[in-house]
Amino acid sequence: LSLDCSFTCHYRCRALVRLDCSGPPDSSSEDDGTEQALEKDTNVDEPSKWEKTELDQAQVEQLIKEYNSQINSNLFMSLNKDGSYTGFIKVHLKLVRPVSVPATKRVPSLQTGRPGPRTQGVKRRTSFYLPKGTMKHLHILSHTRASEVIDALLRKFTVVDNPCKFALFERSEKDEQVYLRKLADEEQPLRLRLLAGPSEKVLSFVLKENETGEVNWDAFTLPELHNFLRILQREEEEHVQRLRHRYARCRQKMQEAL
């Protein structure tokens, strides 16, 4: 099944997929590979410039007013009586590897004459790629931690992979350079959003794989590993096909010139 959002799945798995598809993504917002060359990962131990900022109650109230006056949607922040505040953050999901979601295979009743009162569910898992450009708005509290945001995103998309496989990043643009910083588990994304303002260039949130330098293959199940091998084989075949096509075009151009 191929949807407008370029998501592809097995036809039997169609009913199990729960994704918000709003049609074909805007081509101007897609990554064309140039951002990858501009990205610069900073150290997770280096605190964000906003993380050092201390705010009192009056400053928080003033920042919320300024924030709400700058947005053109209904995704406002609101101050609570206990001094906390609530609001929305938008997280871009840029995952390279497939994710796993639960699938249930129904086993029919052993009584052939009439349907059984209950059906037995067999737990299974299926893997697929999240569509390019997938994003999600979350309504969170000021004290919601980055690790809790990751858990909430995985629940939204019914992903059953270990949350430790993912990390939330702070993305910013400055002087035509893209900077990425991995948030620590205890950091508060809504607080960073308030201090940075609503501009996505100043600050945005990205969910990516938790790269630690080495892949811990023991953390994956056997079906996942087999799936990775099939994916690698398919990518290799596609890469070889593109190379052959490229050289064939060059050979054709040379022959035309001769």
The domain limits of the chain are 38-98+124-215, 220-257
Q: Are 161 and 100 within 8 A, CB to CB? A: yes
For residue 51, what pLDDT is reported?
A: 59
For residue 44, what pLDDT is reported?
A: 46
For residue 177, what pLDDT is reported?
A: 87
Task: Give whole-number Cα distances, 13 to 17, 108, 156, in Å.
Answer: 7, 18, 17
**Comparing C-alpha atoms, which of 173, 174, 146 is closest to residue 51?**
146
**Average pLDDT score over residue span 214-232:** 82
| pTM recorded for the entire structure | 0.60
For residue 148, what pLDDT is reported?
A: 96
> Which pLDDT tens digit goes with each residue over 153-171?
999 999 988 898 899 999 9
Residue 27 has pLDDT above 50, yes or no: no
Residue 9 has pLDDT above 90, yes or no: no
Q: Which residue has the tokens 């490229």?
A: 246
Strands 99-107, 120-128: pairing kind: antiparallel
For residue 35, what pLDDT is reported?
A: 52
pLDDT level of residue 240 (50, 70, 90 thresholds): very high
Strands 85-93, 135-141: pairing kind: antiparallel
* HSE-CB for 71 with a 13 A CA cutoff: 21
Residue 108 has pLDDT above 70, yes or no: no
For residue 228, what pLDDT is reported?
A: 87
For residue 102, what pLDDT is reported?
A: 85
Report the percent of the chain where pLDDT is more than 90. 45
Q: Are 7 and 19 within 8 A, CB to CB? A: yes
CATH number of 38-98+124-215: 3.10.20.90
CA–CA gap between residue 82 and residue 86 (Å, rounded): 11
- Between residues 90 and 31, which one has the greater pLDDT? 90
For residue 3, what pLDDT is reported?
A: 43
Letter string b/e over residues 206-245, b meaning 16 or more CB atoms within 10 A of that residue's CB: bbbebeeeeeeeeebeeebeebbeeeeeeeeeeeeeeeee
**Average pLDDT score over residue span 180-205:** 93
The dihedral through the CA atoms of 186, 175, 88, 4 has a sign that is negative
**Beta partners for 93?**
207
pLDDT level of residue 110 (50, 70, 90 thresholds): very low
Q: Are 207 and 243 within 8 A, CB to CB? A: no
Q: Are 97 and 103 within 8 A, CB to CB? A: no
- φ, ψ (nearest 5 deg) of residue 204: -145, 165
Residue 144 has pLDDT above 90, yes or no: yes
- Between residues 23 and 188, which one has the greater pLDDT? 188
**Average pLDDT score over residue span 234-247:** 93
**Beta partners for 2?**
8
Mean pLDDT of the chain: 79
pLDDT level of residue 19 (50, 70, 90 thresholds): low
Tell me the angle at which helices 189-196 and 57-70 cross, rounded to the nearest 10 degrees: 70
> Which pLDDT tens digit goes with each residue over 57-102?
899 999 999 999 998 888 999 999 988 999 999 999 999 888 888 8
**Comparing C-alpha atoms, which of 207, 16, 218 is closest to residue 97?**
207
